[in-house]
Amino acid sequence: MTLNRRDFLKVSAGTSGSLVFALALPGCSGIQIGYREEEGAWKPDAWLELTTGNKVYFTLARVEMGQGTYTGLTTLIAEELEVDPAAITPKFAPVASEYRNPLYKLQLTGGSTSIATSWMPLRQAGAEAREMLILAAARVWEVDHSECTAFEGHVRHPNGVDTLPYGKLVRLASSETVRHDVALKPQGQWRYIGKARGRLDARAKSTGSAEYGIDIELPGMVYAVVTRPPRYGARIQSFNGSDIQAMPGVLSVLEIERGVAIVAGKYWQARKAQQKLKVEWDNADALGLSTDDVFADYHKAADDDVGERERDDGDFADAAAGAERVLEASYEQPYLAHATLEPMNATAWYHGNSMEVWAPTQAPDLGRIAAARVSDLSPDDITINTTFLGGGFGRRLTQDYIEEAAAVAYSLKTPVKVIWSREEDTRHDLYRPAMLHRMKASVSGGEVTGWHHQVVGPQILDWYVRNAAPAQYPWSPKFLYDTLGKVGLMAEGIATPKDISAIEGAIDYPYKVANVEVRHTHIDPGVPITWWRSVGYSHNGFAAETFMDELAHETGKDPYEFRRALIDHQPRHRAVLDRVAAMSGWKASVPSGRARGIALFQSFGTYVAQVVEASIENDGIHVHRVWCAVDCGQVVNPEIVRDQIEGGIIFGLTAALHGEITLQDGEVQQSNFHDYPLMRNYELPEIIVDIVDSDETPTGVGEPGVPPVIPALGNALFALTGERQRKLPLKAAASSL
């Protein structure tokens, strides 16, 4: 098919000659691509939509929860499309197989993977669309396409003067053949990647107009609150439903799988009614344990069973038997809540044969499964509309809050919004697991000859697979969901990736030690857990990098020099370690009354070294300065990288100084920010972040800032007091623990 200038004028005027062009991608669940005459819009692929009115829409499949995908991923596609990122309107993706995270085969945002997994496909998509627009323009002008160029939403004629805006070309471009071999721009020609720019969502988030899940407003919408069992596994015996039903504004009181839901016309009416709700709980099968029991059980399990061998270099037992000394230490870390500032919430509307859900979720396809479970609908009948997320940190990978909204909506004809209170959000979180680590090292002649790390605690996939496995096979009948969950676990490590959530950061111990053994004693106390910013690295980092500090001390070496000597074979580790030592002036004198600690840790493919300077004043820990060197490969947006690393440091310091969820007789003791405090601005240290220039493939930055700051601070406190901190949260006097 050829088109000349006259045809171009005809079709671009949109008068006649319908040229609807649609084809499905292989394995596609229905994202229609091609040109839609009635809307004057062209979708060259699952991501882009360009209109005759020169609008460019980008479907954002990795949700925006603060980590910057809205800006970063838009920048990637903009770079190759040759459109200013600020001129692109991102739209949150519906559930479709095209939008799955290729690493997980699920549509989820997590694991610091968004930039890494989008780096090639989004640039490729942008380049292909650009090439089709150029081909279309070349045909209009009857010139060689290779002499045309694209810039800021236009194609430029080889004469350097004439231009055509993309809007005039979209219809024609849709009939061009997609070229998958189109070359990506060389780094030297990048206009947007690697340049510090603002955030595309900053204005909406500074004017109150950004729409979060909690902000959804629908006609006739009602509100619900849910009272959940205070102990895990408790069942409802009875409740005073008729009393509650009679309260002002209450529309219905219903028992759902997760508790008692009160539906009212207004949120506050539902909350007030909830205060009068009396539920008799049947605690026969309930978990009655306390945090002390958890750790006692961990220690016993560790004594009884050294656990699965997860790494075995050389022969640690042999090294230990022949060593001058074997040092041992154990470390404990508590349960931690996510405390997203936007509490859990979801809105659902049951239409009889379909359901629509609006929710701030990190995993909309799992949300569909959660909603399908509590209704007679299949996942395909359920639409999930994702919003901005008021924080995620892993919490919104679990879809319990969507399940609740769907269960309530299923019994109503009107849309219903379920909002959790802060107290509910804290007490019914799924936590970063409490963990125990037992460390051993053999030392001879002042050198470390062996390293043994026994990780003791649960793993997250046991809790996550329930909805994750069916989400990978959404066409499977619902009666198979639980089977899929079980099969998913059984096939773990065979058909599905091995769950390394408990041992990540332990198995990849990077130092040059001849005999390294890592074990996992798998014990699950039954307290719900899920992913929490930096996951297993968050606790393994503390254990490994504190024990390294202990070994430096025991062998009489400087903590930096000790690590430096053992990491010479790992150039990227070595570079960030050297960089942070130089930045902080490690060897320079420290202001009196203060001390410094150092830690080096890789997570999610990103290398981070940190130095923390701290003091103890009036019995409180004060963090004065944090220096951080980071190597995350190519940088798409240096400002966002810096923000994420800094935010990660604050998240880690919050855990180190304040974070602790405890259970007493099966009930979570904390409830709100007075007893689960977050770091406030007056506690903020000076944070200096330095990013290594790199041509390596980009890696994540959302999480890697978190793990090293916790041991670095603990190590600083040891340097200050001579008391080793082996339990979190850190205390001004470790001996008072």
Q: CB of 310 within 8 A of CB of 503? A: yes
Give yes or no for a contact between 633 and 622, defined as CB atoms under 8 angstroms apart. Answer: no
Least distance (Å) between residue 347 CB and other proteins: 13
Query: CB neighbours of 220 closer than 8 A, spacing ≥ 6?
Result: 414, 415
The 3-state DSSP class for residue 97 equals helix
Question: Using CB under 8 A, which of 49, 201, 310, 517 touches other proteins?
Answer: 201
- Is 681 near other proteins (CB under 8 A)? yes
From the CB of 422, what's the least distance to other proteins, in Å?
4
Residue listed under structure tokens 């060259």: 44
Shorter beta-carbon distance to other proteins: residue 492 or 690: 690
Phi/psi at 508 (5° precision):
-100, 30
Among 241, 505, 510, 647, binds other proteins (CB under 8 A): 647
Among 217, 318, 324, 328, interactor with other proteins by CB under 8 A: 217
DSSP element (H, E) containing 375? none
Q: Between the CA of residue 494 and those of 209, 474, 489, 490, 581, what are the distances in Å?
A: 46, 20, 10, 8, 42
| Residue 673 is a binding residue for other proteins (CB under 8 A) | yes
Is 220 a binder of other proteins (CB under 8 A)? Answer: no
Using an 8 Å Cβ cutoff, are 128 and 180 in contact? Answer: yes
Task: Establish if 388 lies at the interface with other proteins (CB under 8 A).
Answer: yes
The full length of the chain comes to 737
Q: Which stretch binds other proteins (CB under 8 A): 60-68, 292-300, 615-623, 712-720?
A: 60-68
What single string gives the DSSP state of each residue in 414-482? S-EEEE--HHHHHHT--BBPPEEEEEEEEEETTEEEEEEEEEEE--THHHHHHHHHHHHSTTS-GGGHH
* Integer CA distances (angstroms), 423 to 278, 631, 669, in order: 17, 38, 10
Please compute, for residue 301, the number of CA atoms within 13 A of its CA located in the half-sphere on the CB side: 23
CB of 207 vs other proteins, minimal distance in Å: 6
By CB under 8 A, name the one of 185, 191, 311, 422 that touches other proteins: 422
Cis link prior to 729 (omega < 30° from 0)? yes
Nearer to other proteins, 639 or 667 (CB): 639
Indicate the pairing of strand 620-631 with strand 606-617.
antiparallel
According to the binding rule CB under 8 A, does residue 678 interact with other proteins? yes
Site string for other proteins, 319-358 (x = CB under 8 A): --------------------xxxxx---------------
| 389 touches other proteins by CB under 8 A | yes
Candidates 19, 25, 28, 210: give the one binding other proteins (CB under 8 A): 210
CB neighbour list of residue 329: distance below 8 Å, 6 or more residues apart: 438, 439, 546, 547, 550, 724, 726
Q: Is residue 78 close enough to count as binding other proteins by CB under 8 A?
A: no
Provide the strand spans (E) within 45-143.
Answer: 48-51, 56-60, 88-92
**Candidates 2-10, 38-46, 505-513, 648-656 — which segment interacts with other proteins by CB under 8 A?**
648-656
- Of 211-219, 367-375, 561-569, 582-590, the window that binds other proteins (rule: CB under 8 A) is 211-219
Q: Is 268 in the site for other proteins (CB under 8 A)?
A: yes
198 SS3 class: coil
Q: Is 648 in the site for other proteins (CB under 8 A)?
A: yes
Shortest distance, position 591 Cβ to other proteins, whole Å: 19
> In angstroms, rounded to a whole number, what is the distance separating the alpha carbons of residues 518 and 360?
37
Options 93-101, 551-559, 612-620, 643-651: segment touching other proteins (CB under 8 A) = 643-651
Using CB under 8 A, pick the residue from 48, 50, 61, 65 that binds other proteins. Answer: 65
Work out whether the CA dihedral 673, 675, 677, 682 comes out positive or negative.
Answer: positive
67 HSE (CA, 13 A, CB side): 26
Closest separation in Å from C-beta 202 to other proteins: 5
Long-range contact pairs involving 466-470 (C-beta distance under 8 Å, separation at least 24): 467/366, 467/369, 467/370, 467/373, 467/399, 468/106, 468/366, 469/496, 470/369, 470/379
Q: Does 453 bind other proteins (CB under 8 A)?
A: no
Cβ-based neighbours of 383, under 8 Å, separated by 6 or more: 94, 95, 354, 355, 356, 357
* Contact range with other proteins by CB under 8 A, out of 101-109, 114-122, 135-143, 645-653: 645-653
Residue 203 near other proteins by CB under 8 A: yes
In the bound complex, what is the minimum distance in angstroms from residue 533's beta carbon to other proteins?
Answer: 10
Interface residue with other proteins, options 14, 53, 102, 198 (CB under 8 A): 198
The answer to whether residue 682 forms part of the interface with other proteins (CB under 8 A) is yes
Q: Which is nearer to other proteins, 174 or 345 (CB)?
A: 345
Nearer to other proteins, 211 or 492 (CB): 211
Is residue 219 part of the contact set for other proteins (CB under 8 A)?
Answer: no
Q: Binding residues for other proteins, per CB under 8 A?
A: 64-68, 197-199, 201-212, 214-215, 217, 248, 266-269, 272, 339-343, 388-393, 419, 421-423, 639-640, 643-644, 646-651, 672-674, 678-682, 684, 687
